[in-house]
Amino acid sequence: MSKVKENLSGYIFFLFALSSITALTVITVFIFAEGIPLMADVGFFSFIFGTTWSPGQGQFGILPMIIGSLAVTFGAAVVGVPFGICCAIFMAEFAPEWTKKIFRPTIQLLAGIPSVVYGFWGIMFIVPFIRDNFGGSGFSVLSASLILGFMILPTIISISEVSIIALPPTYKEGAMALGMTHWQVIRSVLLPAAKSGIVAAVILGMGRAIGETMAVIMVLGSSPIIPTSLLDSARTLTINIGLEMAYAEGQHRQALFATGIVLFVIIMILNVSAQYLTRNKLKK
């Protein structure tokens, strides 16, 4: 009887796992089925490298949106990665236990704040600050980068801290026995050993940033042009889809699904890269 229950439990869990894969497959097939025809009509290179987005005139170039997405994602990494890794080092190596009991729930709470709250905070504080001190409208790549930099902190901090804590204690003990200082151990031993996990954390954080919609809509503006400075307004792939899908029809709607294909491929590449690095770390 216990064997039957065990087998039944295995089948049930298998069905749940299969349902997740099925849902992903259905979504993927649907997006590609809707978007590929537009790419075929317009031309793949014209769609990807075109610089004019004017659906009313049949022009569907998404290069400005790709550059906008990469710009704010890179900016978020510049803001979030140093702070995140430094915070992870502090939590793993320096923080006393009572501090960890405060910081860890706070970081988890930071991950649970809705993106619209981040966007509202950006409109009220970040945008006016940039407008008053640096010029421009304030709705810019810089504003979006700062907001996204804060939003990716929980991902980078949590995974990086776990990667450092999971290292065998002999690494640290051996280095200390050789006369290294605590900082030398962290810089020369622990960080290189945890490199795969930290890089995976950064990649996952970038995936979080490039897929964000609501907060970016609120602080970036929506100009479908290639930004030439940090103070320029821009438009990301997610903004393009979020703003226009409600009223899009015909080729315009297909173009938005094609935009989703590009975004989907970028995020899949980032996630697969993170999993590859994590598995390599586990094997080592």
Does residue 10 register a pLDDT over 80?
no
Does residue 204 register a pLDDT over 60?
yes
Q: What is the mean pLDDT of the chain?
A: 87
**Which pairs count as long-range contacts for 262-268, CB under 8 Å and 24+ apart, including other chains?**
262/48, 262/62, 262/66, 262/237, 263/69, 263/210, 263/211, 263/237, 263/238, 264/28, 264/31, 266/69, 266/210, 266/237, 267/207, 267/210, 267/211
Predicted pLDDT at 143: 93
Structural domains of the chain sorted by starting position, each given as residue range(s) with its CATH number in brackets: 65-248+271-283 (1.10.3720.10)
Secondary structure (3-state) at 2: helix
Predicted pLDDT at 19: 82
The percentage of residues in the chain with a pLDDT greater than 70, rounded to a whole number, is 95
129-150 pLDDT per residue, tens = 999 998 888 899 999 999 999 9
Predicted pLDDT at 211: 87
70-125 pLDDT per residue, tens = 999 999 999 999 999 999 999 988 888 888 888 888 888 888 888 899 999 999 99
Higher pLDDT, residue 11 or 247: 247
Does residue 281 register a pLDDT over 70?
no
Which residues 6+ apart lie within 8 Å of 54 measured at CB? Answer: none
Region 261-277: what's the mean pLDDT?
Answer: 83
47-75 pLDDT per residue, tens = 999 888 888 888 898 999 999 999 999 99
AA identity, residue 215? A
pLDDT tier, 278 (very low <50, low <70, confident <90, very high otherwise): low
Region 12-27: what's the mean pLDDT?
Answer: 82
pLDDT tier, 2 (very low <50, low <70, confident <90, very high otherwise): low
Contact of 258 with 65, CB cutoff 8 Å: no
Structure tokens at 75: 């900016």
